[in-house]
Amino acid sequence: MNTWYLYSNKPLRKSIERFAKFPIGTSFENNEPRLLLVSIDVQEGVSVVFDSYMKEDGSRKTEYGNYGPEFARSSNEQEGYEHVIKYNDGIPSDFVLASGSVPVNYDYTKLVEDYSSVAKNNNNNVNDNSNNITNNDVTTDKKVRYFWDGGLLSNTPLRETVIEHRRYWHFIRKCEVPPLRVTIINLHPIRQDYLPTDYDGVVDRKNDLTYHDKTLFDERMAILMSDYVNLGKTLIKLAQDNGVGKDLINSILQQQALTRHFSTGKQFTYGNLLEGGVPLDFTLRLQRKNDIHTVANKTFDFSYNTIRQLIKDGYEEAKEQGIKAIQDTEKNP
């Protein structure tokens, strides 16, 4: 029997709306923190980021999917993202649920995309059945997208954080990208001293290995790219100081590279590779430690004793790791 029991997320929504004021719209100008939520478009199979900061045009929106005409399905397709979800007033509670809709246990979170594009004709037309509205030369197409917890593809979204950090400072603020300091709280320990022998213990270990922090490679790649950018800029300055003409240098920088833009898929030039590098200052990792009382569904264990112990462990490890990170920074400024 293909029976499927779904939990309701209404109690979760009620709690979230009780402790947070929605919609959440923040700005750097007001000295407010930036909130990034990562979810998955189930049909596209890609990570989708919702951002409390405004985009370059002054709106709040998330754009993703095929970016034409380079990836166009037809010759008539306009340049732009395939999916656009707008939330000008800020991130609503539905988006928080979208970033935490655990598959199978909960239903999909449904969000409506609102994508405006240039119409093919100037005829006024309203079609309520397809939700397509044409007015003058602009067509607004509203469709429902379905989302799951972003942890399936990116349980520790360092990559998305680096990309969004660069996008904001390089394209919106149009200035040098400031260093990024990262704190990662890993709820699924990588190492475990004892070997589980019971069913629940084995499931718990499988979950830890599936969802643990896997960002060490991403961190090292970000640092490697920063080193390459610094090396390239140093070599350019060296060439200029030794009389190499600006036109000759620019002819190299304007050559097409193999690298493509993460979001649009457009091909970079060598000059683009040197723009907006993200320097990672340091990454602080706090690791949850398993004990013999750990259960497979520990991510849902909100009992008083467990929470109190986790807070105590977190403070102690934060102090220990923070002191170590500062000492390492002082040794290698």
Domain identity same for 272 and 181: yes
Segments forming the whole domain that contains residue 38: 10-154
For residue 141, list its beta bridge partners.
115, 132
Domain identity same for 188 and 240: yes
Task: Tell me how far the alpha carbon of residue 227 is from its chain's centroid.
Answer: 23
| C-alpha–C-alpha distance, residues 209 and 314, integer Å | 21
Closest to 169 in 3D by CA, of 82, 275, 91, 63:
275
Domain identity same for 226 and 312: yes
Packing angle of the helix pair 216-241, 246-253 (nearest 10 deg)? 160
Please report, rounded to a whole number, the percentage of residues in the chain having pLDDT higher than 70.
Answer: 87
Domain identity same for 170 and 318: yes
Please give the single-letter amino acid code of residue 183: T
End residue of a domain, out of 154, 182, 200: 154
**Residue 187: band (very low, low, confident or very high) from pLDDT cuts 50, 70, 90:** confident
Place of tokens 């909100």: 302
End residue of a domain, out of 119, 154, 189: 154
Domain identity same for 150 and 169: no
Write 31-36 long-range contacts (CB < 8 A, 24+): 34/168, 35/91, 36/157, 36/160, 36/161, 36/164
Domain identity same for 25 and 92: yes
Domain identity same for 85 and 124: yes
Q: Dihedral sign, CA of 314, 51, 64, 160?
A: negative
- Is residue 299 in some structural domain? yes
Read off the pTM.
0.81
- Is residue 4 in some structural domain? no
Domain identity same for 35 and 141: yes
End residue of a domain, out of 111, 128, 154: 154
Rg of the chain over all Cα atoms, to the nearest angstrom:
24
Number of domains in the chain: 2
- Specify the pLDDT at position 213: 92
Q: Any idea what the Cα angle at residue 320 is, between residues 315 and 326, rounded to 5°?
A: 120
pLDDT 10s digits, 16-29: 999 999 999 999 99
pLDDT 10s digits, 136-174: 444 445 689 999 999 999 899 999 999 999 999 998 999
